[in-house]
Amino acid sequence: MNLKDVILNIVYDPSYIAMTKKDLDKYLRVDKYTQKAVRDILKELEKENKIRISKRNRIMPITEDELNLIGNISMAQGGYGFFVSDNEDYEDVFIKKDQLKGAHNKDRVRIELIKERQKGRNAEGKVVEILERAKEEIVGTYQKNKGFGFVIPDDRSFGDDIFIGEKNSLRAKNKDKVVVEIIDYPKNGKPEGKIIEIIGGRKDKNIDILSLIRAHNLPYEFSKETKKESLYIEEKISKNEIEARTDFRKLFTVTIDGRDSKDFDDAISIERNGENYDLYVHIADVAHYVKKSTAIDDDAYERGNSTYLFNIVLPMLPEALSNGICSLNPNEDRLALTCKMTINDKGKVIADDFYESIINSDYRLVYDDVNAFLDDGDENIYDDEIIKEKLLDFDKLREILRNMREKRGSIDFNFSESQIDVAEDGRVLSISKMQRGSGNKMIEEFMLAANECVASLFAYMDFPFIYRIHEKPKDEKVETFKKALAAMGYTIRGNDLHPKDFQKILEKVCGKDIESVINLLMLRTMQKAKYSNHRDIHFGLSTSFYTHFTSPIRRYPDLIVHRLLKKYINNKLGSINQTSLEKSLANNADHLSMTERRSEECERDVEDLLKCKYMIRYIGDVFHGNISSITEFGIFIELDNTVEGLFMYKFSDDRYEYLEDQMKAYNTDSKSFYSIGDRVKIRVMDVDIYQRNIDFDMEVDDEIISQQ
């Protein structure tokens, strides 16, 4: 037992009597050489919120109630904030602006409750101690004055403009987009900072998106070492490498991707095998080219994944790899890892095998054309009869696999994704619902099947591995979802719910106006999928075995899986230290879950920004949409083009009452009820590009509402 554990055992012993630091020294019989180590451990434990030092300088254990009141501040645009406890089950606490005690966004604080939670309202609290300042860098606009300036944060929730002395201005020009680091929080007055980076001028191309990239701390430049290594990447495959691999070049193979895609990391082949199908999923062998402990690998791991921001892409790998030798381009020999699955007419994989392979894709197909052929019956899309025959076989197998997943309870979400067309200079040309046809669903089914096969292989071997897990939704979120369903006239019975219970609801609303809303509400009910070195269920897919294997060009977890699979294929798993691997996989899973969240948050902010840039031209115009959420302050409406805005009660001439139990809003003047899923007509009133908000007003005439 180390010294840290010894101190914790002492402090949390039921018979413990509070000691001072000197008392503890005497109890432990420390000498002058070990006293500093004890002091350092006490500081560390205090920082970790495992002990607290009282005003009388006594070492105290921390109770569960005290732990609940330690967490972070999440600021809102209005200058107030919410306290988010370290205990995920503890409800957020509202903090008024004058009770923040100078705390800013993401600061670590200790609070005190001043008002208990009431129906429909969060508990209120006040900050009693700022434990640690957030060491984040803040992106904003520089406002220059004589001899000094201010940075106005893009994220208005920060609360204050930041004072910049002339010597800390980095010679930024007025209205430049900059990154500022806080250097002082004076007791009175605004925070003081220094500019550490100039992103660009306000009129520079895509400056708003580049600012969001920087605000989310996304790596956007490869290191010098990576750029240098990229110059020496193999452009041809050696004869020895070809001879060492299983040759699938004579197998009819295609890739199916979006029309604008440039990197192709998966290809598929199919053959009839009596009553069964042999499906081949070929994935680019990125691990052959990206070796551990290289600069390319270090940069890829730091990024964790590629980030797609419509007209800007931040790739995980340099272009020489992602669009070059790793990309499964048509009519070019490429190295791959192939998962061959024999699947029966019930959708069961009755045999599988894995190969280090070489392939040569016959065609680069695009979703739009495949969907036109399969869904619209357009025979003129393709001249090659082999393509037509294989696509029909692919589609039959897709249907078999989909039916199998449906029977086991897999949840097939069908919420509206946005198709946003953006010009190179950042202008938003159009926004519409993205269409998912049989071609899209086919690739999804085949990749799901391959991912499950690889996960099952390592799970049954009980070998350290990185899994993709999706835990059961939390009870309180399920209850909220049940209430929302009840408000729309649907029920979901039982307490211990299974994926199949959610699937049945989606089947009931399929094709109805509220389908998109219910899909969205259900998605919000689910927990976030993440990476883990411990096997657990994937609730959404209703499976016990799942991983990510099929996208190593754009996801680092897949690259980890490839390296392990290559060891398996070559009978070299025995050379791995499993204890060491288990530890590294735990760290990998945490880091890569973080990088995924970071990218998703930036992608969401960029999408909101582009929607605002598009809708600003329609201020004053009328649209139809469906109510997606109702809160105590307003009603969110999603338009048919996927844009979401807010109708706030306080800006209306009418008076509204929020009925929390029924999840409805009630217009007390017109005696009208509004429910989630209702179709309404709105007018676009205002668009705030900086805060990425769109304000709507209800058009009372001709609106469709629920009456009660």
Query: What is the DSSP track for 260-287?
Result: T-----EEEEEEEETTEEEEEEEEE-HH
Among the listed residues 699, 688, 527, 532, the one whose alpha carbon sits nearest the alpha carbon of residue 616: 688
pLDDT in tens, 311-335: 899 999 999 999 999 999 999 999 9
Give which of 476, 475, 458 is closest to 467, Cα–Cα: 458
So what's the architecture of 618-698 in CATH? Beta Barrel (2.40)
CA–CA separation, 116 vs 109, rounded Å? 19
CATH of domain 137-204: 2.40.50.690
Whether the Cβ atoms of residue 623 and residue 702 lie closer than 8 Å to each other:
no
Residue 90: the pLDDT is 87
Going through 409-549 in order, the beta strands assigned E by DSSP cover 418-422, 428-433, 467-469, 530-532
Query: Which fold, 65-132?
Result: OB fold (Dihydrolipoamide Acetyltransferase, E2P) (2.40.50)
Distance, in Å, from the CA atom of 401 to the CA atom of 344, rounded to the nearest integer, reads 10
Residue with token string 């909220």: 480
pLDDT at 105: 84
pLDDT at 430: 95
SS3 529: coil
Q: Which of 339, 338, 341, 337 is nearest to 277 (CA)?
A: 341
DSSP states along 128-164: EEEEE-----EEEEEEEETTEEEEEESSGGG-S-EEE
Taking CA atoms, 280 is separated from 191, 270, 350, 501, in Å, by: 59, 6, 14, 33
pTM of the predicted model over 0.85 = yes
Give the confidence band of 658 by pLDDT, cuts at 50, 70, 90. Answer: very high
pLDDT band at 77 (very low <50, low <70, confident <90, very high): confident
CA distance 22 to 32: 12
SS3 state at 339: strand
Q: Which comes out higher in pLDDT, residue 157 or 193?
A: 193
**Do 354 and 570 contact (CB within 8 A), yes or no?**
no
- Number of helices (H), then strands (E), belonging to the chain: the values are 18, 34
CATH topology classification for 3-62: Arc Repressor Mutant, subunit A (1.10.10)
Per-residue confidence at 120, pLDDT binned at 50, 70, 90? Answer: low
Model pLDDT, residue 144: 95
By the 8 A CB rule, do 484 and 492 touch?
no
Centroid of chain to Cα 522: 16
Task: Lowest mean pLDDT of 45-59, 190-204, 395-409, 420-434, name the range.
Answer: 45-59
Least-confidence region, from 58-67, 250-259, 356-365, 529-538: 58-67
φ, ψ of residue 540 to 5 degrees: the values are -60, -35
Query: What's phi and psi for 119, nearest 5 deg?
Result: -55, 120
Residue-level pLDDT at 687 = 97
| Residue (of 616, 623, 617, 620) closest to 640 by Cα position | 623
